[in-house]
Amino acid sequence: MSGQVKRAFKYRFYPTDVQAAELARTFGCVRMVYNLALQARTEAWNLRQERVGYNTTSAMLTTWKHTDELAFLNDVSSVPLQQTLRHLQAAFVNFWAKRARYPRFKSRKRSRASAEYTRSAFRFRDGVLTLAKMAEPLEVRWSRPLPAGAVPSTVTVSRDPAGRWFVSLLCEDTGVIPLSPADSAVGIDLGLDHLLVLSTGEKILNLRPERRDRLALAKAQRASSRKQRGSNNMVKARTKVARIHARIADRRSDHLHKVTTRLVRENQTLVIEDLAVSNMVGNRRLARAIADAGWRQFRRMLEYKASWYGREVVVLDRWFPSSKLCSACGARAAAMPLHVRVWTCDCGTKHDRDVNAACNILAAGLAATVCGADVRPQRNSPLRLSVTKQKALRCEPRELLSSTRNEVNHHSWG
């Protein structure tokens, strides 16, 4: 793992008026080249059933630069224009592999304003970063140091809707090494009253970052809706709304980073459920709360940090009935409405709904990891638990690990 992890270090910077104008021109040219190439590739397929690749679009870019209408493309660095063609090629590869939708055209108002520079288009020396076509270096706020001896391979400059400028340096971080193995494992149940409920009984608070700024956001949005379209006042009002959204997103991201880092450091195995967040936000009553919790962002952070530090993330099937199963006897309740937060099993065990679900998630995850057990129930028939699953739902994590290891050793040598 050491020396092979590439990390992007993001910093805020403050461009001069000349630099801001140059970068704005670059963003516009990048967006135009992307849209022209996408249109050319789409027409080639629709009219001639022909697949156009990166090399062809690169030759098209050279032709476009020699036309009177697109001669302004020569005024900016050529590297970001080539990089946007590579990004379009990657988008088509993901589309052909059925990992993403068909690429869409970039919008001046809605798309992310960014430009990527490779090593031939920037100079980084002694903490001073200078981009191509610029005489002065960028005024970057180095909020944290880069890894010792790190040499950026790419530099991405971006501007968010709130008007903030950021530069992201992609480097190899030799300091990322696997942590020492831990004996602990944890099941994680995601919720709304509490962001996370762990199988240990710990409940992590949901900060609800959007709720704290809801009134200010509503006021700013109402003010924006009253402005005349296309006016300077409309631009100012939209920027104010974007700043509130940015503050909410930063608060959420900071909390999730702290939580995921602690969980990865303390546990060797982390078990979560595969939640269909895009489907769940279809519930009008819970959509805002689900989006505010950031479940998808939590899972993404947990997975890449676990891969960095030698931890394992086990994802259970979304249909696993974690809330309906008794973690003591393995019996399954007939129904479990959302308003039921505490329930008592027929065996006499009283359960906190979320803690019980987290314990079931942990047990099923360990069973799937150690014994290869299936955790997906049959939808049209009563749940039939295998012996391994019954043992998993009754045992403590350490007991389960020891018992399953003994079974594996017995079958291996028997």
- Residues designated as active site: 189, 273, 354
**Partners of 123 in beta bridges:** 130
**Partners of 165 in beta bridges:** 13, 159
Mapped onto helix, strand or coil, the DSSP state of residue 401 is helix
Report whether 29 contacts 77 (CB < 8 A): no
**What are the DSSP calls for 15-81, one per residue?**
--HHHHHHHHHHHHHHHHHHHHHHHHHHHHHHHH-----HHHHHHHHHHHHTSSTTGGGGGS-HHHH
**What are the DSSP calls for 351-397, one per residue?**
EEHHHHHHHHHHHHHHHHHHH----PPPTTS-----HHHHHHHHS-H
Mapped onto helix, strand or coil, the DSSP state of residue 57 is helix
Q: How far is CA 177 from the centre of its chain?
A: 22
Report whether 128 contacts 136 (CB < 8 A): no
Report whether 157 contacts 114 (CB < 8 A): yes
Which pair of structure tokens corresponds to residue 100?
């993403």
Scan for tokens 């670059």, then name that residue: 26
Positive or negative, the Cα torsion across 392, 394, 398, 404?
Answer: negative
Helix (H) or strand (E) holding 218: helix 214-225
